[in-house]
Structure 1
């Protein structure tokens, strides 16, 4: 009888829904605000005709933006794409995934 109860308990555990982790709304807002700030900074550096060390600044800003995108994707539950190399394609994919989940910046 005890083994039947244990088996039923294990079977019920397989079908039980796992609790959904709800992200802290203030953390989400902080990430969206920071992403918006960095996106604006990228556009400013790209469009400015004369900026000292432009390429270096742009690479640093894009690295910070990419790191925030990764953090936002983890928070939003976007599946990780381990095979994608960091660059324009991965950045575009992550931005689209976040936008499809209602994120904006």
Structure 2
């Protein structure tokens, strides 16, 4: 599984690169802190699969990287080849990029 670091994600965001960010956490987690990605909780990832772009890079994130890895495994079984897991999730983002973001 391809992984991307929080520093690499920050570079993509800063450069305005064309990619999609999918957040697979729950609604309450997303409301507490998010990076502006599309919210599709893990439990509904295959139900809302049409929201995920197959034509450009997609970064999948969660709290620590475990749920996003599970989401990627499910999506790859449905033909996705353009996915990268955010290593360490929002916890790594808070630790390495933005310490002011709320974590739980």
Same-fold call, TM > 0.5? no
TM-score (norm 2): 0.28
Q: Name the structure where helix makes up a greater proportion of residues.
A: 1
Higher relative contact order (CA 8 A, sep 6+): 2
Q: Which has the larger radius of gyration?
A: 1
Which structure is higher in strand share?
2
